[in-house]
Amino acid sequence: MKRTIILMLDSFGIGASADAAQFGDVGADTFGAIARMCAEGKANDGREGALNLPNLSKLGLAMAAKESTGEYAAGFSDTEVVGAYGYAAELSSGKDTPSGHWEMAGVPVLFDWGYFSDKQNSFPRELTDKILARAGLEDYLGNCHASGTAILEELGEEHMRSGKPIFYTSADSVFQIACHEESFGLEKLYRLCEIAREELEPYNIGRVIARPFVGTKADDFARTGNRRDYAVEPPSKTVLDKLKAAGGEVVSVGKISDIYAHCGITKKVKASGLDQLFDATLEQIKQAGDNTIVFTNFVDFDSHYGHRRDVAGYARALEYFDSRLPELLALLSDDDLLLLTADHGCDPTWPGSDHTREHVPVLALGAGLKPGSLGKRNSFADIGQSIASYFKLEPMEYGESFL
């Protein structure tokens, strides 16, 4: 039986890539920085001491990170591994979520996305006028680069009083809309996002993101699991499309389906929070038959901890994830292929709140792979190419298989 399980640890980079200077990210290292802060006793909120990831280490994480940066992350050393491990550089022009995911599935983004690069007054009047007119709204708040939680503290109450949606962006190619789930309404927010998606067509923006939240005042607003991403479609067929076309199953757990604009997906499983995402992944593996990909995005690493620059939170989440890996490994047979990777970095010690341009881990187990190094992979697309080869699909245009 052939099944591929992809665990996408959103934002879990393992060291700045050679082109990091173009992004202002020389020296960024999501895993390394977390390990260092833990080893220094500076990440003891809800956990203690050195970063403890025995199961990820067994899959080759510590070794992959050492190959990426030239040194072991603090608290990690030579480990006996059971899997094949390596690190991959990104070919795509951006360090955003769709680029990382699509490239991993064999389709790097070689064109430039559009960006709203002005930190204030970020959006053209012409654009927002059209969106507001179609939605029957008079005005909006925001119009700037912002951290999604900071902007709720600043403008959430005014939004609730006035009914004006909050529009904001970041260094990514995104147009984000935050609205209160009850006072504004979830369906109304989704409809507003659909309108924005259409009006943004000429701007070449990768994603519109609905950011619903709940709460009553600045200090208790919380974003909910009803986030929705409206991505444009990948520029060509990914390995997911190819497996689907060949009659296979592609199961999306969490926001995977949104990120691929629902292309190449045969089943969508909704879940939010690390624990539920992990539970849902286990459940889908149990149900998965031959010729199936089970693909989960663990978004909390990125949205709850990386962007929030919460080192202890990120460490806690990694340790939790690691502690549950044995349950997942117990469900796999030797023929299955397990892949664990990331889509970009988001070093929680880095200035600002944006992603960081980094190598990502490529940890692979099963399908006849021998334990040991896969070395440097020149594109995340090596994963997609390996999946194509595993399922005996037509080769992808990019990437080199490590199978």
Ligand X SMILES: O=P(O)(O)O[C@H]1O[C@H](CO)[C@@H](O)[C@H]1O
Q: Within 154-173, which residues bind ligand X (CB under 6 A)? A: 170, 172
Q: Which stretch binds Mn ion (CB under 5 A): 18-26, 86-94, 136-144, 300-308?
A: 300-308
Specify the residue, 10 or 90, whose C-beta has the smaller distance to Mn ion. Answer: 10
Taking a C-beta distance cutoff of 8 angstroms, is the pair 250, 264 a contact? yes
DSSP label of 212: E
Q: Report whether 343 belongs to an annotated binding site.
A: yes
Site membership for ligand X, residue 99 (CB under 6 A): no
Whole-number Å distance between alpha carbons of 170 and 168:
7
Whole-number Å distance between alpha carbons of 22 and 393:
35
Q: Report whether 19 belongs to an annotated binding site.
A: no
Whole-number Å distance between alpha carbons of 105 and 257:
13
Q: Within 299-338, which residues bind ligand X (CB under 6 A)? A: 303, 307
Q: Report whether 307 belongs to an annotated binding site.
A: yes
Q: Within 336-355, which residues bind ligand X (CB under 6 A)? A: 353
DSSP label of 220: G
147 binds, among ligand X, Mn ion, none (CB under 5 to 8 A by kind): ligand X
Of 17, 79, 97, 284, the one binding ligand X by CB under 6 A? 97
Site membership for Mn ion, residue 97 (CB under 5 A): yes
Site membership for ligand X, residue 148 (CB under 6 A): yes
Site membership for ligand X, residue 143 (CB under 6 A): no
Cα 287 from chain centre: 24
Token pair belonging to 22:
């173009």
Q: Within 210-229, which residues bind ligand X (CB under 6 A)? A: 211
Specify the residue, 176 or 238, whose C-beta has the smaller distance to ligand X. Answer: 176
Taking a C-beta distance cutoff of 8 angstroms, is the pair 252, 269 a contact? yes
Specify the residue, 150 or 246, whose C-beta has the smaller distance to ligand X. Answer: 150
Q: Report whether 302 belongs to an annotated binding site.
A: yes
Site membership for ligand X, residue 252 (CB under 6 A): no
Give the chain's largest Cα–Cα span.
Answer: 62
Helix H or strand E encompassing 324: helix 311-329
Whole-number Å distance between alpha carbons of 172 and 261:
17
Strands 228-231 and 207-214: antiparallel
Count residues contacting ligand X (CB under 6 A)? 11
Site membership for ligand X, residue 147 (CB under 6 A): yes
Rounded to a whole number of angstroms, the minimum distance from the CB of residue 275 to Mn ion is 19
Burial bucket for residue 175 (CB in 10 Å: 0-12, 13-18, 19+) = buried
Q: What angle do CA 266, 269, 270 make, to 5 degrees?
A: 140
Binding interface with Mn ion (CB under 5 A): 10, 97, 302, 343
Binding residues: 10, 302, 307, 343-344, 355
Binding site residues, ligand X, CB under 6 A: 97, 147-148, 170, 172, 174, 176, 211, 303, 307, 353
Binding-site residues for Mn(2+) sit at 10, 302, 307, 343-344, 355
